[in-house]
Structure 1
Amino acid sequence: MAVGRHTRAPADRPELPRPLVHSGGTAVIESHATARATVRGFNPRTGKPSGQPVPVSDEAEVGRVVAAAREALPGWAARGGGERASVLEAVADALDAARDELVAIADGETALGEVRLSGEVGRTSGQLRMFAGLLRAGAHVGAVLSPADPALGRPDVRRMLHPIGVVAVFAASNFPFAFSVVGGDTASAWAAGCPVVVKVHEAHPATSIAVARVVRAALAAAGAAEDLLGLVVGPASGAVLVTHPDIAAVGFTGSLSGGRALFDLAAGRPDPIPFFGELGSVNPVVVLPGAAAERADELARGYLGSLTLGTGQFCTNPGLLFVPEAGGLLDAVAAHTRTTTGGPMLSERIRDAYERGTAGHTGRELARGTAGEGAWAVAPVVRHADLAEFLAHAAELTEETFGPAGLVVTYPDPDALLAALTVLPGSLTGSVHAVETDHPLAARVAAVLRPRVGRLVHNGWPTGVAVCWAMHHGGPWPATTAPGHTSVGGTALRRWLVPTAYQDWPDALLPPELRDANPLGVPREIQP
């Protein structure tokens, strides 16, 4: 099923071919020679179907939804920042009003719990309001003026950013609201002036359809085009969407393998397009000797809390923990691991991948918790390797295991630690725990981590990403495909903007943001 201006069901067709890319959700694909293929969510607590089957989108439907979004582009791009801001706030209000209904549907497909999901709806509406505030501030247009200087032979040049076009967004499995239909990618693209077509994640199709209905009604009530948001459904629709000629950019949150396949499709088009993918991250945490000596038990509790939050299904999960060989921190981590309880994974496939990953992992098992209740429940597992073992198997030990699995690496001295940190792949975050006596070493550790991560955390844990103007949720490959950009925070909309320089244009023909009078009052940089 595609949710767009055109929602007519296509004719029955033969069984779909095996998709190029499967996003890896909970749902099954039900297909028969004379029946339309569907996807359906499952309840991770019971392993049983949740919600009604949702028909998948064939190539023709994907084309209709993208065409509808393309028609909505000129009117939306032409609106001023204040007008767009009002629409975003209207959508935020509608989501808050429908919170109870949406949370109930999502809990049946994800088992994430009402408290977590209710908070996630609030985060989603909060993101929309954050971008509304940013639009009203006006700095997002990036206006720069270089007035003519005859003495230097310089013409009058004025530059600003414009919407890139229709954006394709791939919803994530682990955030059915905040990284899904109207999550950060969609909110930032709307703020930039771009319509969005979302590829629904198979883990929560009923939730996605329900959210889209609320959002499209809110868009219409606010005087905006409903087709600023369209949905396509089904694993095969992702490849069709990325290669559609009217898609101008892609936002993706998901697995390394799936993201890389789509990234290659985007780059291999006759007209390559930007692909902003968040793919995988081990998020190293370094505990320095002074901190380990002073608060071992506190650090062990904090580590296990972060590792098992949401059954470990966060992209910022602390997969690698470096601790000193001396002291009792390793023993404290083992003790707290044994008291932890896991929970259900989002899908049977994700559960199976976790079990394979933890069973075949290099390194000794340090401790294991209990799985808890649920058809797809898993136990937290923490393994241990010394620094020599870690370096000998670094390629394997720095691969992400999605779920509540961690590796503790013990180091003998600071110099050995610093050398080991240089082999780390790109990550979304890097964290350092230190007391005042550790500060000289903390500065050295931060210098090594900085080019390898997008966010440096001091005396904290990486899970939890604040939605604020200054946040950077990105990092070098394989954490993302574009380390200069973020999927959370005020600058997330820069992914969907492209610059145009206007040389010697008459003032009356310039965009309002670049005219001498600056009628919209946007912040501008003016070259002396």
Structure 2
Amino acid sequence: MASAACIAAEEAFWSYGYSSQSDRAAFLRAIADEIEARGDAITAQGVKETGLPEARLQGERGRTTGQLRLFADHIETGEYLDRRNNAALPDRAPLPRPDLRVMQRPIGPVVIFGASNFPLAFSTAGGDTAAALSAGCPVVVRGHSAHPGVSDLVAQAIDAARAICGLHPGVFSQIQEGGNEIGAALVQHPLVRAVGFTGSLRGGRALFDLCTSRSGPIPFYGELGSVNPMFLLPDALEKRAGEIAAGWVGSLTLGAGQFCTNPGVVVVIGGEAADTFQKAAAEAVENVGAQAMLTKEIALAYRDGRNRVAAALGGGLEEASTDDLRTATPYLFVTPARDFLAKAELHDEVFGPLGLIVVAQDFDEMLAVARSIEGQLTYSLHLQDADTYLAKTLLAIFERKAGRVLANGFPTGVEVCDAMVHGGPYPASTNFGATSVGTLAIRRFLRPVCYQGLPETLLPTDLR
């Protein structure tokens, strides 16, 4: 099954990889149209499988079709090709220079693993698939077991668009059956040229190791986990403790905390304002009820993570009891910075609505916390003008640790646009120079090719 899909993708590459931007853009727009035509069925199936509300699924569908159309517009401009030309210098001494031209070319078949928490925007036709198809790379998707029905409906939409555009059948395929063996077979297939993944650190690291251990290693673009720390500076905390606490809890518990940009850690400097923040956060959490998680397995992992933190610190707000093993209620912990620095397990992501407030004695200890945290998708600052000097000191650390740095905002809600970066140093992702959101994501599935001294008739059309 895996081999057949990869072979078909390779066969499709010989036509699709050399297709025009306008043809690929038409395909992307056709996929968006076909998804919208199945919108009601996709939403109904999504509610059954994921427990997500209709409004969330409808919004995510709009994000998915918006991504497809954004990439269609992007490739039609030709900017992604990054074309450069050094004209020939035949009379240059002591040696002449030939004509040199370079542009980006698609790498070949790509394997994409669907994500659990985004049944549309990061799964079958989501950002990774949209970027790869935009680049000219056929795609094989490993469907996620959390939403197989939604994945099938979206795959049908893609195949319908493929037929309308008259493209090779191997340009897209999806595999739903089989266990971990199928995933391993896909990433190890010799015709596959790159892998995109969004999921757990454990699962992603296993696939990453398989990619690098191949006889011909390939890039693995994995998004593996992030606690997305927020640092509240003194004047901001003094003036806006209650406001920031309410915003944080809203972001922390949004969608039962099942977002990769969920802000799980807040760092403050101890004092009266910090106490006010903690109290306001606890009160806000009490008003949030139990929410359904995507699967029972994810809910179980959330409870295991909560218990791991409790074992490390031995305290926090008590979780409301529930007989429904698929739901989770928010949970908060407070710890001194010295304990956070001493216990590496507190740095690990807990996927769900769990928050940890880290209380530093002073700004130096806050800096130590910032330096101790590994790579993240986001770092956030809350500051006033009086905090500018401290903010500049922290910013030097943040930009080395994360792909996106925010001021006076909350990281949930990732804008799909040209300037977005959704990635960061390990373990947030396995390739710190890449993003999985925004038009820059196409670069993961391209490579530069230089053409030296080729006659005009042999040059790719885009370089003539």
Whether these two folds match at TM > 0.5 is yes
- Does structure 1 retain, via aligned residues, the 8 Å contact 2:141–2:175? yes
- Does structure 2 retain, via aligned residues, the 8 Å contact 1:343–1:373? no
1:207 is displaced (CA, Å) by 1.3
Alignment match, 2:215: 270
Q: Are residues 1:194 and 2:120 paired?
A: no
Amino acid at match of 1:340: V
Alignment match, 1:503: 452
Alignment match, 1:25: none
Alignment match, 1:400: 349
List per-residue Cα deviations over 1:186-224 (Å, max 9, x = no partner).
000000000100001111111111111122112211232
Aligned residue among 151, 170, 177 for 2:92: 151
1:376 is displaced (CA, Å) by 0.6
1:292 is displaced (CA, Å) by 0.9
1: CA distance between counterparts of 2:368 and 2:220?
33
Q: Are residues 1:106 and 2:46 paired?
A: yes
Alignment match, 1:224: 167
Please state whether the residue corresponding to 1:454 is helix, strand or coil.
strand
Alignment of 1:25-104 (within 5 A): 61-104=1-44
List per-residue Cα deviations over 1:149-172 (Å, max 9, x = no partner).
342533221111111000000000
Aligned residue among 277, 290, 301 for 2:246: 301
2: CA distance between counterparts of 1:372 and 1:84?
50
- Does structure 1 retain, via aligned residues, the 8 Å contact 2:403–2:422? yes
Alignment of 1:346-365 (within 5 A): 346-361=294-309, 362-365=312-315
Alignment match, 1:512: 461
Please say which of residues 127-136 and 368-377 is displaced more in the overlay: 368-377
Alignment of 1:309-348 (within 5 A): 309-326=254-271, 327=273, 328-348=276-296
1:373 is displaced (CA, Å) by 8.7
Please say which of residues 362-371 and 104-113 is displaced more in the overlay: 362-371
1:389 is displaced (CA, Å) by 1.3
- Does structure 1 retain, via aligned residues, the 8 Å contact 2:103–2:448? yes
Please state whether the residue corresponding to 1:475 is helix, strand or coil.
coil
2: CA distance between counterparts of 1:66 and 1:374?
41
Structure with more of its chain in helix, by fraction: 2
1: CA distance between counterparts of 2:380 and 2:257?
17
- Does structure 2 retain, via aligned residues, the 8 Å contact 1:342–1:371? no
Amino acid at match of 2:306: T
Please, what TM-score do these two structures have when normalized by structure 2? 0.95
1:417 is displaced (CA, Å) by 0.9
2: CA distance between counterparts of 1:139 and 1:304?
40
1: CA distance between counterparts of 2:139 and 2:339?
46
Alignment match, 1:411: 360
Aligned residue among 94, 109, 119 for 2:59: 119
Aligned residue among 424, 433, 453 for 1:475: 424
Alignment of 1:1-12 (within 5 A): none
Q: Are residues 1:244 and 2:189 paired?
A: yes
Please state whether the residue corresponding to 1:247 is helix, strand or coil.
coil
Please, what TM-score do these two structures have when normalized by structure 1? 0.84
Alignment of 1:429-444 (within 5 A): 429-444=378-393
1:87 is displaced (CA, Å) by 1.3
- Does structure 2 retain, via aligned residues, the 8 Å contact 1:340–1:370? no
Amino acid at match of 1:287: L
Structure with more of its chain in strand, by fraction: 1
2: CA distance between counterparts of 1:369 and 1:380?
7
Please state whether the residue corresponding to 1:474 is helix, strand or coil.
coil
2: CA distance between counterparts of 1:512 and 1:244?
31
Once the two structures are aligned, what percentage of the paired residues are identical?
A: 45
Segments of 5+ residues of structure 2 without an aligned counterpart are: none
Amino acid at match of 2:34: A
Please state whether the residue corresponding to 2:404 is helix, strand or coil.
strand
Amino acid at match of 1:377: T
2: CA distance between counterparts of 1:124 and 1:372?
34
Alignment match, 1:140: 80
Please state whether the residue corresponding to 1:102 is helix, strand or coil.
helix
Shift in alpha-carbon separation, 1:373–1:462, aligned structure 2, 3 A: farther
Please state whether the residue corresponding to 1:360 is helix, strand or coil.
helix
Amino acid at match of 2:299: R
Alignment match, 1:162: 105
List per-residue Cα deviations over 1:11-40 (Å, max 9, x = no partner).
xxxxxxxxxxxxxxxxxxxxxxxxxxxxxx
Q: Are residues 1:494 and 2:439 paired?
A: no
Please say which of residues 147-156 and 283-292 is displaced more in the overlay: 147-156
- Does structure 2 retain, via aligned residues, the 8 Å contact 1:365–1:382? no
